[in-house]
Amino acid sequence: MKSYKYYDLILGAYVCVLLCANIIGPAKASTVHVPVIGDVTFGAGVLFFPFSYFFGDILTEVYGYARDRRVVWSGVAALVFASLMATVIVKLPPAEFWKANQPAVETIFGSTPRVVFGSIVAFWSGSLVNSYVLAKMKILTNGRWLWTRVIGSTLCGELVDSTLFFTLAFYGVWPTRQLLGVTITQYLLKSAWEVIMTPLTYKIVAFLKRVEHEDYYDRDTNFTPFSLRA
């Protein structure tokens, strides 16, 4: 495998953002008043989770689908471990002096199995869809118009992610109207972040292509999601 200077650093940042967004973010729901639109309620993690797609776009654009796929699987492994760790910590009997804090620990870290499963499946599916669409669009556009594939791939990936997560986690628990409303709101917010981040994506992609001497095209790539091969 070719050695890269910044690939491992981006992998670490990607997994860090993913874990924080999925562990810290869901602990709080926030309502913000938006002029014209009115009050918008969302999970706090939605402000940071789109950064995982930001890193995914950069990885696929510079290093290719297969190397981004390895990072996605690293993220899945980290989420699974974090979920198991949170479950053990919540289930452990608290010390006598800690019992008053137990409800807070359960509220923050005690996600139901449905929520955990939905989060992991949605992340894995959406991230790989995002990477696949970007890689294919890069070939179709012959590497031009980066903004079209950055935004277009995110729209596809976030649609899969939001739809899968809320359906798997809350279908039958929330009223259908509320489920649809929250899903659409989350999708629009996450997608809007990608549009805002596009100028920064251009700068980082240009920097990495220059210093890594890489601008990968996935013309002969095996796009199976079930592989760690780069």
Per-residue pLDDT of the chain (230 residues; tens, 9 = 90+): 688 999 999 999 999 999 888 877 766 777 888 788 788 777 777 778 888 899 999 999 999 999 999 999 999 999 999 999 989 999 999 999 999 999 988 887 887 788 889 999 999 999 999 999 999 999 999 999 999 999 999 999 999 999 999 899 889 888 898 889 888 888 988 888 888 999 999 999 999 999 999 999 999 999 999 999 88
Amino acid at 131: S
Domains and CATH numbers, the chain: 7-212 (1.10.1760)
Q: Which residue type sits at 97? A: F
- Chain CA centroid to CA 133, Å: 15
Assigned token pair, 85: 């760790």
For the entire predicted model, the pTM comes to 0.91
Residues in contact with 168: Cβ distance below 8 Å, sequence separation at least 6, in sequence order: 114, 117, 118, 121, 122
Three-state SS string over the chain comes to: CCCCCCHHHHHHHHHHHHHHHHHCHHHCEEEEEECCCEEEEEEHHHHCCHHHHHHHHHHHHHHCHHHHHHHHHHHHHHHHHHHHHHHHHHHCCCCHHHHHHHHHHHHHHCCCHHHHHHHHHHHHHHHHHHHHHHHHHHHHCCCCCHHHHHHHHHHHHHHHHHHHHHHHHHECCECHHHHHHHHHHHHHHHHHHHHHHHHHHHHHHHHHHHHHCCCCCCCCCCCCCCCCCC
Angle (CA) 190 155 194, round 5°: 45
pLDDT tens sequence across 74-94: 999 999 999 999 899 999 999
Taking only the tens place, the pLDDT of each residue in 140-172 is 999 999 999 999 999 999 999 999 998 998 898
Q: Who's near 93: CB < 8 A, 6+ residues apart?
A: none
Give me the pLDDT at residue 31, please: 81
